[in-house]
Structure formats: C-alpha cells, structure tokens
C-alpha cells in the first residue's frame, strides 16, 4: 500500500497590525511637532516681550522720583522744577507712555523748553539709575536790571533781556535802569547795545569807587539815546554821554564837586555831556 502525500502550500493572509493610541499621550508627526513647538516659542516670546515692556516702561523700577538741579543763581528753582520738569513728567510720549519713566523722558524736549525761557551759557540734562533726573545749569550773568511798565528784567552784557526778575529778590549790586517810555519788552529781545551796557556797568563801578555819591538808579530818556542819567539819593541828576570818555567825565564830576559845588542838597543837575565842560544848576 502506497501512501501519497501532497504538500499543500498554505497561504497566510497578512493583516494590518492594529495601532492603539493613548489619548492621554498622543503621538504627533514631525510636522505637527514643529508647529506645536513654534506656537509654544511664539507664546513664550510674547510673554517675555510683555514682561520687558512692563518692567522698563510701566513698573516703578525706573520711575523718576528724584530731581536734582544745580548751578542756579537767578532762575527760581520752584519754577524750573514745577512748571517745566514736573510738567513734562506728566506729559505723554508716543501718545501712550508718560514721561515719568527714565527711558521715556525726553532730554531734548526739556532742554528746548528751558532754553526758550532762559538765557544760559550751558545746560546739561542727564539720567541716573534708577530714579534720578539731573539738571545742571550755567546761567548768563546779567549786567543790569531793566525797569519798564512796572516790570523788572535782567539784561546781559550783549543787551539781550535774559529773564524776568523778581522785584523782591533782585540781585544786589546790579545797576537799575528805568525806561521812561515804558516800552514793552520780551525775554530774548535786544533792547540795548553792548556798548551802552558796558558803559553803564563801568559807570556804576566808578561812581561807587571814586565818589561819595549814592546812585539809586539810572534813566534813559529814550531807548536809542546815548545819554545816561544817574539819579542820586538826594534827588539831583547827573547827565552822562556814552559816546564820550568815561574817565574824563568822572574826573570832571569830582572836580566840580570838590571845587565848585559846596551844597549838593540844593542841586538840580550836573551836565557832563559836553567834553571838558561841566554845567550845573541849583534848584
């Protein structure tokens, strides 16, 4: 008996292996991973930028709380601090930020406002971490006080009105000059020539040093006039001419007081405007 075995080829059908995903731990493709990481970093950058903006521009870390002003002589500190500096601290920059922040405060804006109001030789504005604003001023020293229309002004050596003067806090030893025409003036306006200012400055010094006369103030009959009238404390007047030599006029004045005029209380005026001549009149 013969046995015949036939080999049968088994066909095994390949089926896909099922993929199971845990919803708590999802798996992403590389594109999804890049996209999600990009979103994360964008959010992180936004948060960092928002934090930096708050730190530098809104937080009290860099808020200006201290103002240091140095070098003032005639300019009132309260005016400079309250009406210019603190006023600017309350103003906005870029329509959003207040300027009470050390980084947002505009130094050029403050310098422009101060220089428009006062005549200065030098002005420095600086910032110091974390809360300090420094303002250093070097004023142009006035040579005389100009009085017109009941208002007092300081005038520089070049004849320019440098500032409005406080009547109750005038600089001592400066000659006072009255404008009989009471013309209106503004700060920054040229009202006298440097020659006239220099003449009055020297005249005031020489009268104090070389005579016993006390001059209360000087008077201009006209702003463009070269005649300078000195009013004594006794009420009599001395007429000077700015175009003539000052030393010779002072010498003539001293000689007249020593040799010709014995009683100044009855004097009305002394006229020195004509070179090498002295004219005087009693009341």
Distances (CA, A) of 237 to 73, 267, 272, 282: 33, 8, 11, 11
**52 with 62: CB under 8 angstroms?**
no
pLDDT class of 20 with cuts at 50, 70, 90: low
pLDDT class of 5 with cuts at 50, 70, 90: very low
Question: Can you tell me the distance from the alpha carbon of 102 to that of 57, in angstroms, rounded to the nearest whole number?
Answer: 8
For the domain made up of 61-139, give the CATH fold.
Answer: Ubiquitin-like (UB roll) (3.10.20)
Distances (CA, A) of 36 to 27, 28, 47, 134, 157: 12, 10, 17, 49, 74
DSSP code per residue over 125-138:
EEEETTTEEEEEEE
pLDDT surpassing 90 at residue 255:
yes
Enumerate the CATH 3.10.20.310 domain ranges in the chain, comma separated: 61-139
Q: Which two tokens stand for residue 221?
A: 């009959």
pLDDT class of 179 with cuts at 50, 70, 90: very high
pLDDT surpassing 80 at residue 17:
no
Q: What is 144-282's CATH number?
A: 3.40.50.11690
Enumerate the CATH 3.40.50.11690 domain ranges in the chain, comma separated: 144-282
**119 with 143: CB under 8 angstroms?**
no
Cβ-based neighbour number of residue 53 at 10 Å: 12
Alpha-helix runs per DSSP H in the chain: 30-53, 77-78, 86-89, 107-117, 194-210, 246-255
Q: Which two tokens stand for residue 167?
A: 């009547």
pLDDT surpassing 80 at residue 4:
no
């Amino acid at each position: 008996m013969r046995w015949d075995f036939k080999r049968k080829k088994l066909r095994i059908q390949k089926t896909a292996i099922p993929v199971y995903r845990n919803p708590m731990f999802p798996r992403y493709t590389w594109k999804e991973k890049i996209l999600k990481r990009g979103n994360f970093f964008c959010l992180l950058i936004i948060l960092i930028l928002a934090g930096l903006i708050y730190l530098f521009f809104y937080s009290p870390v860099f808020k200006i709380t201290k103002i240091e002003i140095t070098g003032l002589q005639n300019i009132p500190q309260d005016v400079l601090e309250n009406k210019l500096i603190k006023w600017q601290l309350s103003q906005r920059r870029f329509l959003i930020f207040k300027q009470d922040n050390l980084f947002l405060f505009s130094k050029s804006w403050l310098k422009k406002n101060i220089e428009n109001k006062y005549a200065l030789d030098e002005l420095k504005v600086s910032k110091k971490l974390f809360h300090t604003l420094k303002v250093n001023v070097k004023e142009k020293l006035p040579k005389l006080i100009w009085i017109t229309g009941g208002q007092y002004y300081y005038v520089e050596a070049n004849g320019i009105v440098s500032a409005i003067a406080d009547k109750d806090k005038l600089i001592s030893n400066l000659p006072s000059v009255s404008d009989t025409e009471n013309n209106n003036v503004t700060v920054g306006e040229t009202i006298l020539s440097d020659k006239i200012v220099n003449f009055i400055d020297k005249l005031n010094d020489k009268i104090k040093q070389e005579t016993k006369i006390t001059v209360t103030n000087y008077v201009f009959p006209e702003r463009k006039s070269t005649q300078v009238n000195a009013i004594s404390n006794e009420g009599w007047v001395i007429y000077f001419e700015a175009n003539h030599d000052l030393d010779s006029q002072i010498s003539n004045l001293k000689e007249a007081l020593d040799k010709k005029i014995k009683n100044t209380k009855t004097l009305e005026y002394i006229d020195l405007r004509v070179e090498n001549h002295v004219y005087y009149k009693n009341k």
